[in-house]
Structure 1
Amino acid sequence: MDDLIDDDDAEEEINNSNGKMDDSNEEMDDSNEEMYDDSNEEMDDSNKEIDDSNEEMNDSDDFSDEMEGLNDLNDDDSDTEIDSVDSEDFHGAKFEDAVNETLDDSVLQWPNETYREFAKICVDYDLSNQAVDSFINFFNKNANLNKSPLPNNSREMHKFMNSIVSPNLDFKKKHIIDFEGISYNLHYRPIIKTIKALLQKPDITNNFILKFEEKRQANTNSRIFSEQYNCNWWQQTESQLKIGSRVLSIILYSDATLCDSLGNIPSWQRNKKNAKVLLGYMPILQSKNQATRNSDNFQKLICKVIKRCWSILLRPIMKLDELELNIKNVQITFTPRISVFLADMLEANAITCTYKSANCKMPCPSCIVHIEDLNNMKISKGNITLRTPNSMASVIQNKKAKENLNVYEAVLPDRMHHLDLGLFKYMLEYTQDLLIEQCGNYAIEEFNNRLAAIPKFTGLKIFNNGITSVQTADEYRMIIKVIISIVDGLFDDNDSRIIERRSKNKNPYISSTRLTSVYFFFVHMYIMSRNEEFSEEDLIKFEDLITIWSCEFVEIFSRFSPSELKLPKLHSWSFTTETFETLHKYYVKIPYRKSNKKEVMNQILNKVRQKALIESTTKSVKQKVGQLSSKLYDIRFSAFENHLEIFQQLEILNPLQLEGMENLLDSLNKLKDDILLDKVDSFIRLYKSATIKSADIIHADPSYNKVPWFSDVAIVMDTTNATNYTTDQGMCFGKVLLLGEIFSKSSHNTAKFIFAMVKWYDYCEQDDNEDSEIYGCPRLTLLKEYDVVPLESIEQAVHIIPRFHKTNQFLMNRNIF
């Protein structure tokens, strides 16, 4: 079970096995050094250009001996007990299955709605049996009901959920191999049933796309590529199908957890957790003996396990030409195609049978490029030979390449491993080396101080302990959002300490501006890679941006890399896909930690199944908008005439809150023509937070988890007030000091006016050195001007960060994604 927990986890992905060796080893596992197939071995003897790399791979031995142990791996048509597929795995593909198919009613057969909601709470929060039993006893004791709607105890609840018959959610167990006294099994759900499980969800079928859609820009008529079904390959595949058949695009994710989704689902929907489905758990072969782990036979055995697992999982869609599926009560014929294999670098090497070692001469799983050119980002496409089934046929036994599946083209890197935990992580590490070389430790200390001083923003983590506390992919992603403000003016090129070091250092000096620029190019490129759609012009721009950043990256940081940044990740970086890695945490780590470590696999399968049952009957809840929450004070309007006394009584100590209270009365007086106030009868009620129309939650809280949080917001200005400030497409920026409502006792406490008290920002004046926008972010200054605005005029929360080396200057962070 531990092999599932430790394999490329989203929270602990860069572990000791593929951690900080040489940086070229950082994305490859040392233990896989003798992995089955090098990219140097895919061509036959007539391909003279790669003979040298083949010789180094085989140490002048006969390569046929090395391949002899892999013959059985490529016998896709073998019908052994292990590789054979149950007829049940093909169930659901026929026309009569689609005609008779309905949503499994047993999923909905809960004893009552209270029972279902209670079970959902228990499963969602992974409550222990003891906690569940205690609550049931408490409820039954105090509810005074003749018959309790809850189960008698936790055991009865789990037994009930496990008894619910739901074929599309159940797992099968297939024995794969026995090794060193341990039996390794594949736990999986037939792929046809996982597809049907997706199609049972109304929000999936309501947005399901059946045919190619060409998309063009209205003004330029340029092609736009936003979804798989907008692309040329879909159109070409569709034209080759039988009349009436549709493309079913299957997206696979390979890790210890195996997941799939469908390219027919729009990306905005597909990137949600409920649009992905767990396909199974792949066993990972382990040995306690170091010599065994490093042997050729062990590595070949790993390949055999992987091959057998994928053979079992994919046999139904590889054998069947067509599937009959029910989409909104209509039977439709589909032709399945595997369009994408999502994988990190190690998994991509395994899927494409490419050698994994850092010593490999051609380690890229998609093309044949020499290791010496991995950091050459100006290499022309004409000089790159792509891997194809034909070019790799000499290592495919009997040359049985599958039609309609170019695995080298289908394998795509996931952004999390490629960038968040890959290239960006390396860049941060080399930046620390650069700062120490050019500036000394004080620059590292300033870097960490800025990181800890980043203003709060919803969903953004603050790292009070500096860069050394950043470990997970999600945390590196947080750094990407604020890194420009951290490195902006981090050191002064004219500082005497830097000038002294510079005179002694023979390496090229990197200015503060240039360091910030390379991060700006990276962030711009990263955000563009997340675009939901690309025009033809965008594709060219994105490719140029990759080249600009990567060239700067290599030129600035290659001297800190033992391999001079000859990294497969750098070479293969282009378009990436959203990662499924969080599902590995959801489907493995959390259930594992909640188990009692006895018969762990069964406990994990039960927990995953229970969560799927709960989700299939969960009702969506709309969030209330325009709602104030967490009341602070009620203050009579007339009491503001003696505001100092009021502030002392209420113990208002936060300077921003005091500033708001002191200017509230004057600001309200500006609105006397818009709101009628009876100063004797009116009260002001202040709150800590509010939900605005964008569904953002904004704060005016002097002690949010013991830390002040006063949100920055974008406000829609009317035409009269907009002339007083420089606007960003009709919006101005302000810092919220107070949130509240005005009401009167005579109107039964009904709010007359819900407001936010703001202190305004304005654009900095353009000077000789800097424009009004730098690094794509507006350059702002905070004014001593205040207004009360209707809560409904606030468009959204924004993130505004101080320029730490400037007085009263800020950047409106446009890098929040």
Structure 2
Amino acid sequence: MSTSFQCPHCSRNFSTRNAYSQHVNRCINTVYLSTEESSEDISDIVSSVNEMSLDDEDFSRINEFQIIREKNSQVFYQYESDQDYAGDISFGEISHSSNIPEEYENFDEILSASLQSNEKPISHSSNIPEEYENFDEILPASLQSNEEPEVENIKEFPNEAYADLMALVIENNLNNKAGNAIIKFFNKHLDLSQLSLLPKNIETGRKFMDKMNISQLSYSKYYVLTHNSQDYFVHYHPIKNCIKNLLSNPDILKNLMFRYENSKIEDEKSYGEQNSGNWWKRAERSISNHANILSIILYSDATTTDTLGKSSLHPIYVSLGNIPTWRRNKEDAKQLLGYLPILSAKNEKEKKSSEFKELARETFHNSIKFLLDPLFQGNSVDFNIDGKDIWFFPRISTIICDWPEACTFSLTYKSANLNYPCHFCLVQREDLIDIRKDQVILRNHVNMKEYFNSNTSNLAGLEQVNNYFWSIPNLNIYTATVPNRMHHLDLGLFKYQIEFTMELLKKKKSLNKVNEKITDISRHSQLKVFKKGIQLS
């Protein structure tokens, strides 16, 4: 074996394999394969490459391997200097099993060792062979940039094994290191007759998912309607499967709450978790003593998916009120139920029309009905927990959303200039700041259905659309919607409420009185108060 290693591109010589392999990593940034030669030549060259023993003679065959040409097929390698690079090697229409001998199927492992150096590139412009001087001209535009080519409209994984692996990583919140260990284990112990079905590493899998049409990713789809010659679908996971996923999590299960608890602190009623509330108590009394309440929490918020705001998705999530608040705030205590369809108007005139707005509301509620019906059609449902069937009566306890979304759930008009602008109550707009509690008429399915059935919904600021949630037991949809912290504290009116209150106290010279009352409040470890009093700047 020769002790000299010569680069096929720049003719530089190296005395050690390590130095040579590090140089090759930088010298061969992109190897372009445009196959036009006969299949016999291809087979010979591919076999020769796989027979390399990393000496100078064998490595010089890379020069031949670069210019393989086969009729009607173009394939390429793109090598990157990043050590996390895991670009898949594609042989196009060349059969891996037929052309590459079995004993050389580990060529990928041999070659990868030579492609993981992070040294600075060495200039090799002076000795490039003549046939490669115009190499950039024949490269596709996507290969002349160091950026990875954009892949659009990917709707599914390459295979089921790939999909199952990424689902395992996402659902169990595995980091890249753990995921890579799984890939290495299966690639090592499975006798694969072809290239691995799995991604090179988890980072590659995540990048692939980023390029996918996420609304179609691993979801079933249900046709809702056709509008302007376009079909609209709900992309979803069955809600029972989502709940099963939550109930199968051992860490969630050990903290799960099943029965009503009359919590007290120093003989005073305490409302901490959902199962200590009066709502849970009433709901539990309405079912069998042998059954349990399954508290359903929904979260919905349409969001843009690009910086220009031209693309949008409408995700809806599900969680359980049976999970304590501290545990429910963790990522794995929520399940993505699906993506609701977003209708597109053909022009601005249609978008502002009452007919289009009504159709959008109907589409939303029909989609919600499809998603939730499997849980509520049978009144009760059984879930297997630790090998035992537990009897549940599902009840929607909370819907977390912003104000426009709350109006969509309750089917009230989205305007603050109406006679009854509040989706909670029937208080006229001019009376909102001067009303006593005993004068407030709350909205509920009874008084709202009266307006709906008499075709006078507009008098109550209500859409003339049947509300799906009227049929859900133990639910007042008009009081079930609550804002999340982001919309209420960070983006909502809370900041202005504080400023308004402080200005009001300042004008009435009541600030000192308030501070005195704050100091009189008994301290508790979980009580947050103004320790230094309210201070006005």
Q: What is the one-letter code of the residue matched to 1:417?
A: H
Q: Provide the residue aligned with 2:419 in structure 1.
A: 361
Is 1:345–2:403 an aligned residue pair? Answer: yes
Q: Provide the residue aligned with 2:330 in structure 1.
A: 272
Q: Give the deviation of 1:150 after TM superposition.
A: 12
Q: Give the deviation of 1:509 after TM superposition.
A: 11
Q: Provide the residue aligned with 2:298 in structure 1.
A: 252
Q: Provide the residue aligned with 2:484 in structure 1.
A: 414
Q: Provide the residue aligned with 1:153 in structure 2.
A: 200
Q: Is this contact kept in 2: 1:176–1:186, CA < 8 A?
A: yes
Deviations 1:708-737 (A, max 9, x none): xxxxxxxxxxxxxxxxxxxxxxxxxxxxxx
CA distance in 1, matches of 2:361, 2:393: 29
Q: Is this contact kept in 2: 1:118–1:150, CA < 8 A?
A: no
SS of corresponding position for 1:209: coil
Do the aligned partners of residues 205 and 284 (structure 1) sit closer, same or farther apart at CA in structure 2, a change above 3 Å counting? same
Is 1:235–2:281 an aligned residue pair? Answer: yes
Q: What is the one-letter code of the residue matched to 2:532?
A: I
Q: What is the one-letter code of the residue matched to 2:339?
A: Y
Q: What is the one-letter code of the residue matched to 2:333?
A: A
Of 393, 409, 414, which aligns to 1:335?
A: 393
CA distance in 1, matches of 2:423, 2:225: 27
Deviations 1:20-68 (A, max 9, x none): xxxxxxxxxxxxxxxxxxxxxxxxxxxxxxxxxxxxxxxxxxxxxxxxx
CA distance in 1, matches of 2:495, 2:289: 50
Deviations 1:508-542 (A, max 9, x none): 99969979999999xx9xxx9xx999xxxx9xxx9
Q: TM-score, normalised by structure 2?
A: 0.51
CA distance in 2, matches of 1:422, 1:519: 25
Of 432, 438, 442, which aligns to 1:386?
A: 442
SS of corresponding position for 1:187: strand
Is 1:775–2:521 an aligned residue pair? Answer: no
Q: Give the deviation of 1:335 after TM superposition.
A: 0.7
Do the aligned partners of residues 414 and 397 (structure 1) sit closer, same or farther apart at CA in structure 2, a change above 3 Å counting? farther
CA distance in 1, matches of 2:329, 2:199: 39
Do the aligned partners of residues 514 and 423 (structure 1) sit closer, same or farther apart at CA in structure 2, a change above 3 Å counting? farther
CA distance in 2, matches of 1:773, 1:243: 47
Do the aligned partners of residues 117 and 318 (structure 1) sit closer, same or farther apart at CA in structure 2, a change above 3 Å counting? closer
Q: Give the deviation of 1:419 after TM superposition.
A: 3.1
SS of corresponding position for 1:369: coil
Q: Is this contact kept in 2: 1:365–1:408, CA < 8 A?
A: yes
Aligned pair count reads 320
Q: Give the deviation of 1:279 after TM superposition.
A: 0.8
For residues 780-799 of structure 1, the aligned pairs below 5 Å read: none
Q: Provide the residue aligned with 1:194 in structure 2.
A: 242
Q: Provide the residue aligned with 1:211 in structure 2.
A: 259
CA distance in 1, matches of 2:510, 2:373: 51
For residues 746-765 of structure 1, the aligned pairs below 5 Å read: none
Q: What is the one-letter code of the residue matched to 1:385?
A: I
Do the aligned partners of residues 119 and 176 (structure 1) sit closer, same or farther apart at CA in structure 2, a change above 3 Å counting? farther
Deviations 1:221-270 (A, max 9, x none): 01101011011221222122123111101011122210111111111111
Q: Give the deviation of 1:369 after TM superposition.
A: 0.9
Unaligned runs of 5+ in 1: 1-105, 123-131, 141-147, 163-168, 432-486, 488-507, 546-771, 778-802, 806-817
Of 245, 263, 272, which aligns to 1:226?
A: 272
Q: What is the one-letter code of the residue matched to 1:381?
A: K
Q: Is this contact kept in 1: 2:300–2:400, CA < 8 A?
A: yes
Do the aligned partners of residues 266 and 510 (structure 1) sit closer, same or farther apart at CA in structure 2, a change above 3 Å counting? closer
Q: Provide the residue aligned with 2:159 in structure 1.
A: none
Q: Is this contact kept in 1: 2:179–2:201, CA < 8 A?
A: no
Q: Provide the residue aligned with 2:493 in structure 1.
A: 423
Deviations 1:728-785 (A, max 9, x none): xxxxxxxxxxxxxxxxxxxxxxxxxxxxxxxxxxxxxxxxxxxx962279xxxxxxxx
Over the matched positions of the two proteins, sequence identity in percent amounts to 33
Do the aligned partners of residues 518 and 375 (structure 1) sit closer, same or farther apart at CA in structure 2, a change above 3 Å counting? farther
CA distance in 1, matches of 2:250, 2:370: 29
Q: What is the one-letter code of the residue matched to 2:239?
A: I
CA distance in 2, matches of 1:518, 1:180: 63
Q: Provide the residue aligned with 1:79 in structure 2.
A: none
Unaligned runs of 5+ in 2: 1-163, 189-194, 210-216, 302-313, 455-465
Q: Is this contact kept in 2: 1:226–1:532, CA < 8 A?
A: no
Q: Provide the residue aligned with 1:282 in structure 2.
A: 340
Do the aligned partners of residues 513 and 422 (structure 1) sit closer, same or farther apart at CA in structure 2, a change above 3 Å counting? same
Q: What RMSD, in angstroms, separates the aligned Cα atoms of the two structures? A: 4.7
Is 1:315–2:366 an aligned residue pair? Answer: no
Q: Is this contact kept in 2: 1:205–1:328, CA < 8 A?
A: no
Q: What is the one-letter code of the residue matched to 2:482?
A: L
Q: Give the deviation of 1:177 after TM superposition.
A: 2.4
CA distance in 2, matches of 1:367, 1:257: 28
CA distance in 1, matches of 2:392, 2:386: 15
Do the aligned partners of residues 510 and 216 (structure 1) sit closer, same or farther apart at CA in structure 2, a change above 3 Å counting? closer
Q: Give the deviation of 1:326 after TM superposition.
A: 2.1
Do the aligned partners of residues 157 and 397 (structure 1) sit closer, same or farther apart at CA in structure 2, a change above 3 Å counting? farther
Q: Give the deviation of 1:333 after TM superposition.
A: 0.5
Structure (1 or 2) with the larger CA radius of gyration? 2
CA distance in 1, matches of 2:511, 2:293: 46
Q: Is this contact kept in 2: 1:267–1:532, CA < 8 A?
A: no
CA distance in 2, matches of 1:324, 1:313: 18
Do the aligned partners of residues 118 and 518 (structure 1) sit closer, same or farther apart at CA in structure 2, a change above 3 Å counting? farther
CA distance in 1, matches of 2:271, 2:338: 31
Q: TM-score, normalised by structure 1?
A: 0.34
Q: Which has the higher strand share?
A: 1
CA distance in 1, matches of 2:506, 2:203: 67
Of 314, 321, 345, which aligns to 1:263?
A: 321
CA distance in 1, matches of 2:504, 2:257: 54
Is 1:370–2:428 an aligned residue pair? Answer: yes
Deviations 1:652-677 (A, max 9, x none): xxxxxxxxxxxxxxxxxxxxxxxxxx
CA distance in 2, matches of 1:213, 1:186: 38
